[in-house]
């Protein structure tokens, strides 16, 4: 399923599964994808979120305020978790974003853009509760793609 994902995007999805396991969830949701996006350093999504002062500790705290630990076993098989409908929309929107931007690979930036579109998902809700305007984050991603971190700083100082 993830053969057209960049190394960063594949790492994001691996981290998302690990986050679901830590929370003992029997599904992979947008909240797990958000935490994966923050955790995988070096990807565009992580850089944009860091620019917006989003850190893993604060985001994890917000997620835990919204969802509780699940009943699953701590050492269960979390390799093949079903994806929630909201998370599936994120993945579909990531593909659509990559195509619209004419990118051959799906990167962490596309996953973040997909997460921002799925604004009813827990991941986007957590970002809003952290004080972010989702449209501003979207603009940051697009600015980064055209001008790197300096593009964000020049167009949207924090």
Give the pLDDT mean for 125-129.
96
Give the pLDDT score at 61. Answer: 92
Contacts for 83 with CB less than 8 Å, ≥ 6 apart: 27, 28, 29, 91
Hey, which bits of 80-140 come out as E strands?
none
Give the pLDDT score at 119. Answer: 87
Give the pLDDT score at 76. Answer: 59
Contact present, 25 and 122 (Cβ < 8 Å) = no
Report field, pTM of the whole predicted structure over 0.85:
yes
- pLDDT, one tens digit per residue, over 26-85 is 889 999 999 999 999 988 999 999 999 999 999 999 998 999 877 665 665 556 788 999
The CATH number, out of the four listed (1.10.600.10, 1.10.1780.10, 3.90.440.10, 3.40.50.2000), of the domain defined by the range 7-155: 1.10.1780.10
Give the pLDDT score at 96. Answer: 95
Tokens of 26: 């029997």
- Please work out, in degrees rounded to the nearest 5, the angle formed at the alpha carbon of residue 118 by the alpha carbons of 86 and 36: 75
User: What is d(CA 151, CA 84) in angstroms, rounded to the nearest whole number?
Assistant: 34
């Amino acid at each position: 399923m993830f053969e057209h994902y960049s190394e960063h995007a594949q790492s994001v999805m691996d981290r998302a599964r690990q986050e679901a396991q830590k929370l003992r969830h029997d599904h992979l949701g947008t909240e797990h994808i958000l935490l994966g996006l923050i955790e995988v350093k070096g990807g565009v999504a992580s850089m944009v979120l860091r620019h917006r002062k989003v850190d893993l500790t604060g985001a994890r705290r917000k997620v835990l305020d919204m969802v509780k630990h699940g009943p699953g076993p701590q050492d269960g098989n979390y390799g093949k978790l079903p994806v929630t409908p909201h998370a599936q929309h994120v993945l579909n929107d990531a593909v659509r974003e990559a195509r619209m931007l004419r990118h051959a690979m799906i990167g962490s930036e596309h996953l973040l853009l997909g997460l921002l579109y799925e604004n009813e998902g827990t991941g986007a809700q957590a970002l809003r509760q952290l004080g972010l305007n989702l449209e501003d984050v979207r603009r940051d991603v697009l600015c980064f793609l055209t001008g790197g971190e300096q593009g964000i700083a020049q167009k949207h100082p924090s």
